[in-house]
Amino acid sequence: MEQYVALDVSLKEISVCVINAAGAVMFEGKVAAEPTALMGLIRTKAPRLAKIGLETGATSSWLYHALSSVGLPVVLMDARHAHAALSMRPTKSDRSDARGLAEILRMGWYRAVTAKSFTSHERLALLAARRRLVAIRTDLDAQLRGLLMTFGLILGPGNTDALVRRAEALAEGQPVISGLVTRLAEVRRHVVTQVAALDRDIRRLARSEPTLKRFMTVPGVGPITAVAFLSTNDEPTRFKHARDVGPYLGLTPTRYRSGETDRHGRISKCGDAFTRTCLYEAANGHWQVV
């Protein structure tokens, strides 16, 4: 009789539940969150393995690729769908969640998710690091403005190094304030240097990838938008139709239809928010030029 293995993953341990096609529990236990130990347990406790299921999460891609690389039939389940089903269970524990995931897997009541490649994850990490540094730079600008404003010193608009030089000039003659501005300015300049370095990495990547170069022929699309779009979608063949990309990125309107009510709402905003923002800015820039 076929056996189904469900994994409830945490950072240190994985709760494992093995059930057969009739729903009988064959094994429940925990194993270290390490692929080798996990594969050994699965081969021992589920010799007639049909499917392995785990939810999407921070470490799910790593485990998915490790298990699939040795030929195990692993399925990545949408965490939102799984949560909706698991929330109906009276108790919440790792053991209970693993049992619930096993039942979902056995019955086929899940939505399979395509795991992104490690290359896509690396590129998304590059964009995330740049985005975080830009946010830090913006916060430092706001800190400088607020600090000087308290003493009646108005810094004014801008986000270049001229802003920092203006802040240093305004703080002259006030030892305490001048010292604080100097330290904030030093950190800001270092952050700007690192953002510029990441920008060079992104441009180098865009020049080396033919697909990215083709994306950038679209008016308004630059290296960041191109890398974000390619990395988020990863493998285009997983979309049955080109029109499926819009809903995946949350760019299609929601709809509420019940009885006599038929109402279209705002865009769903599902999927990657940063990629959606990049596409919006690219489209907005294109229409401004036109």
Q: Which fold has domain 3-107?
A: Nucleotidyltransferase; domain 5 (3.30.420)
Q: Which amino acid is located at 242 in the chain?
A: A
pLDDT at residue 20 tops 60: yes
Q: What is the mean pLDDT of residues 126-138?
A: 97
Task: Please compute, for residue 74, the number of CA atoms within 13 A of its CA located in the half-sphere on the CB side.
Answer: 24
Bridge partner list, 267: 253
Residue 18 three-state SS: strand
pLDDT-based confidence at residue 85 (cuts at 50, 70, 90): confident
How many other C-beta atoms are found inside a 10 Å radius of the C-beta of residue 4? 26
| H or E element that contains 17 | strand 13-20
Q: What is the pLDDT of residues 189-219, one digit of tens each?
A: 999 999 999 999 999 999 999 999 999 999 9
Q: What is the mean pLDDT of residues 174-199?
A: 96
pLDDT at residue 290 tops 70: no
pLDDT at 88: 82
pLDDT at residue 286 tops 70: no
* Phi and psi at residue 263, to the nearest 5°: -125, 130
pLDDT at 289: 55
* Phi and psi at residue 5, to the nearest 5°: -115, 125
pLDDT at 287: 67
Q: What is the pLDDT of residues 104-114, one digit of tens each?
A: 999 988 888 88
CA distances from 17 to 23, 39, 135 (A): 11, 14, 42
Chain-centroid distance, C-alpha 234? 13
Provide the whole-model pTM. 0.87
pLDDT at 175: 92
* Phi and psi at residue 31, to the nearest 5°: -145, 155
- Helix-helix angle 223-233:118-149, to 10 degrees: 130
